[in-house]
Amino acid sequence: MNNIHVIGLGLLGGSFALALKKEKPSLNFTGFDASERNLKDALTLGIIDQSSEVIPAETDVVILATPVDTLESLLLSALDQIQENTLVIDFGSTKEALCKAVADHPKRTQYLAGHPIAGTEYSGPKAAKPDLLEKKVFIICEMEKTDVHLKGMAYDILESLNMKLRFMDPEEHDRQLAFVSHLSHISSFMLGKTVLDKMEDDKNIFDMAGSGFASTVRLAKSSPAMWAPIMEANQGNILDALDAYISNLSKFREKIAEEDKSGLKEEMASINKIGDILDLGR
């Protein structure tokens, strides 16, 4: 393996390239981004060595790290272009529709459906960090459909980045991510909106905001260009997650309205165990 081509040079694509460059400095990185600014920044920051709108013939691995609404066309185009020993890996946040789109492609075995569970509220090449993927989970879907030798090349890359591999069905992936990722972003956006709406009546409300508010609303700074397509792509699962969330909010509101102090304490105490599950604060 000598040559990597990255399409999408933002937070994830950029962080991947920086990390792999650090671990395997002999590799050559080419890449492309639809944003001229991102492409220029990626070259200046050393994320890629050369820009190329087409996938170079000698490419060993192609990484697709663009918004989910662009991935299907990019994936099909990449598979049409690549040589027989080239692997394509995507970093998309939804997997079911993408896997179905390439199910009958003659080069399906040259595709690895992946998703690194990593990120920040920032975007673009300047947000990329070489340690972003360190010890993070990398989900692989339909592992059995990827050529065994190409899969071995992918494992070598992911292990060199010290990532933890998990294997899931595409449907399960999208269903679970709706609850643990997509819902948290929606919650953050809507908390931000609620307080911004309140600010129209009370200009000083942000003087009252502490670290709890800041940490809860942090994700509201995330890129709409990335997250709006995710909401559309995973609509059914997200609506299920929202229904469950809204139901719990309504029940909690009822306890407050009824001044059910013991009920509130019991409810919150039962939820405290999530700290142990996630090993929070340690």
Average of per-residue pLDDT across 239-248? 97
Residue 27 has pLDDT above 80, yes or no: yes
Strand ranges of the sheet holding 3-7, from the earlier edge strand across to the other edge: 50-51, 28-32, 3-7, 61-64, 87-90, 111-116, 137-141, 164-168
Position 9 pLDDT exceeds 80 = yes
For the stretch 28-68, pLDDT in tens is: 999 999 999 999 999 999 999 999 999 999 999 999 999 99
What token pair was written down for 15? 């962080």
Structure-token pair, residue 72: 């299907």
Residue with tokens 């080419």: 30
pLDDT at 282: 39
Residue 234: both structure tokens together: 């995973």
Q: Give the type of residue at 63.
A: I
pTM higher than 0.85: yes
Residue 254 Cα distances to 245, 257, 269, angstroms: 14, 5, 17
- Token look-up 């948290």 returns 184
Both tokens of 38, joined, read: 């991102």
d(CA 196, CA 222): 16
Percent of the chain with pLDDT over 70: 96
Mean pLDDT over all residues of the chain? 94
Q: What are phi and psi of 157, to 5 degrees?
A: -65, -50
Domains of the chain in sequence order:
3-168 (3.40.50.720), 172-278 (1.10.3660.10)
State residue 208's pLDDT score. Answer: 65
pLDDT tens digit sequence for 138-194: 999 999 999 999 999 999 999 999 999 999 999 999 999 999 999 999 999 999 999
C-alpha atoms less than 13 angstroms from C-alpha of 219 in its C-beta half-sphere? 16
DSSP string, 216-268: HHGGGGS-HHHHHHHHHHTHHHHHHHHHHHHHHHHHHHHHHHTT-HHHHHHHH
Comparing 279 with 17, the larger pLDDT belongs to 17
* pLDDT range class, residue 121, cuts 50, 70, 90: confident
> What 3-state DSSP class applies to 92?
coil
Distances (CA, A) of 199 to 25, 108, 191, 207: 50, 52, 12, 11
